[in-house]
Structure 1
């Protein structure tokens, strides 16, 4: 146990050390198996130790703001949340058939390329790459659960933590499944459909899980946990709506990704759902979801989306949602430090450019 006077930098360092230790231990164990399996753990280590660490930082900051004092428990929960994120990202890339992540080949791309160089057919190489990714995601998911199950807290609290994790995975899978269904374009997606998918796919694991885990581990009263649950879901939707806007209208130099990746993929966002109701959509509909779509077709799609009023609609909704969540924060029974953190988080989600 450590008191709340422990510095933020100390806790961050403890998190980095613990995450490195968890993955390194399994990477070392993998050497007793096949060479490709050891290579898989090398790839997992790069993924787990890279990235922005948004979710674990959110959990650790909230834990401190809520008066938590058991640094080790919070650090382990933060590690589990990051490992869950890695698992979902890996599986998401398989579902989206992506070969690149964070500007470099992802696990599917890396293992498929290696197999091609060794003489495998393109079909065999891609199957090998996807199999490697699926197993890698499973390994990260299992490790996340194992870390949470081993947290040294009383049994009642551990059960609550594991229940939160279980529901988070369950709901995130529901959101991902719904997202894939919407992308098939077999029926018209309403704004309500898209918002429900976003709420399940993004808000549940990126915001609700870190905040509620922090609250439970800090011993916050149930009223605070309930308030954080509602607020977190609202913030998660704001985050994803902004992400969808940046995915089509953002600055590629800041976002680090193409502004027509979502359009090529046929991602059913609120922008698209709204734009479909405009008569001009029929002129660009064939481009949407086309793997061969070029820059000129993407620009035509962007123009129709903006002229339909979809961009203005989503921006207005983001603004309304920000006002709503600010009201919920003001009216909550959260400690002052937590209120300040959430206000800053809302502003960051709204104004981010990458």
Structure 2
């Protein structure tokens, strides 16, 4: 996978709170650094939680008119594994970064960015549940219905709340990065990375919706590119590059981490696509029927389209009235035609390629193991 255009803000920079080292010395130090059982040790998780609590408390104090939206957003950040911010903090520490408090502010921005995308994505998909409970749109729609609004108006109110809450989260992410307290040149590079991720992810989301129209039969390569843009850049490449920038990493290290992030991100999204059909909603928090109803053009569907089973599968894809019995039949067919196994193998292949890059960069074994596990299981 080539480096995406515009991913150049990760250049040489002064380490935040540390003396700069050469790339060779940094990689060597990374290899010799004592391993941890998992990212989050050493108070990183506590610093992240504190940064998020402080951010939400400040927002509620400064303007009570939008407090209910901030309350909903704060609730939306709970229950997930927060692997994106922990990825930033872990890479930052692995590369010799020492200013965890500033890194935690930027890590909190990663969680807000993810929350914004999730809230907006639920509106786009018409979903009302996330992680087994009502999402932002579902919560506000239920409130409107309880107040006596008819179903259509209640749904519209819920969608409006989701859009507005997502907008607030995006603005909050930018504010946290801009005010993290790092050196001005470091902040500029971080904002460049954030803008790049926003633009690429927006294009990827729109491509995802466009492919679901069924007006063009996109091949597997096109769909994988869409998934890289939609998920890999903001979920993996952005936090890994940001952690490296905060640690003062050189350009070569940043570029390799960007490559690693894209490989991991595609593996993760492939796993997510599988969970969107074969997963357990109580475990993943993701509906196992909404992707089928929406006619999502996933790699799973793209592969099935090339098999003799497709004529049996096609009538169910994009059926807004699809019920669980029909969805169960689709799962059987996707298993029988080999599409499920093909995507599982493809995800494992991306994860294996990522391990090779991680080893070349010199990431410690404990962090490598966590990255590999994250890429092959859903960690929303």
When normalised by structure 2's length, the TM-score is 0.85
Structure 2: where are the runs of 5+ without partners? 1-15, 19-32, 35-39
Structure 1 distance, partners of 2:67, 2:280, is 38
Mark the CA change 1:107 to 1:250 in structure 2 (over 3 Å): closer, same or farther: closer
Structure 1 distance, partners of 2:199, 2:159, is 22
Partner of residue 324 from structure 2, selected from 268, 271, 295: 295
Deviation larger for 224-233 or 284-293 = 284-293
Q: In the alignment, which residue of structure 1 is the partner of 2:376? A: 350
Give the drift of 1:96: 0.5
Contact kept in structure 1, 2:79 and 2:131, CA below 8 Å:
no
Partner of residue 153 from structure 2, selected from 113, 124, 131: 124
CA offsets per residue over residues 47-88 of structure 1, 9 Å max, x none? Answer: 234422111111111111110011121011101000101111
Deviation larger for 202-211 or 246-255 = 246-255
Partner of residue 128 from structure 2, selected from 70, 89, 99: 99
Q: In the alignment, which residue of structure 2 is the partner of 1:224? A: 253
Structure 2 distance, partners of 1:107, 1:352, is 21
SS at match of 1:278: coil
**Within 5 Å, which residues of 2 pair with 1:1-354?**
8-31=41-64, 33=65, 37-330=66-359, 332=360, 334-337=361-364, 340-350=366-376
Structure 2 distance, partners of 1:30, 1:102, is 29
Give the drift of 1:215: 0.1
Structure 2 distance, partners of 1:277, 1:222, is 41
Give the drift of 1:124: 2.0
Which structure ranks higher in relative contact order (CA pairs < 8 Å, sequence separation ≥ 6)? 2
Structure 2 distance, partners of 1:207, 1:154, is 24
Contact kept in structure 2, 1:65 and 1:335, CA below 8 Å:
no
Give the drift of 1:283: 2.4
Give the drift of 1:104: 1.4
Contact kept in structure 2, 1:271 and 1:311, CA below 8 Å:
yes
SS at match of 1:186: coil
Structure 1: where are the runs of 5+ without partners? none
Give the drift of 1:252: 4.5
Contact kept in structure 2, 1:2 and 1:71, CA below 8 Å:
no
When normalised by structure 1's length, the TM-score is 0.91
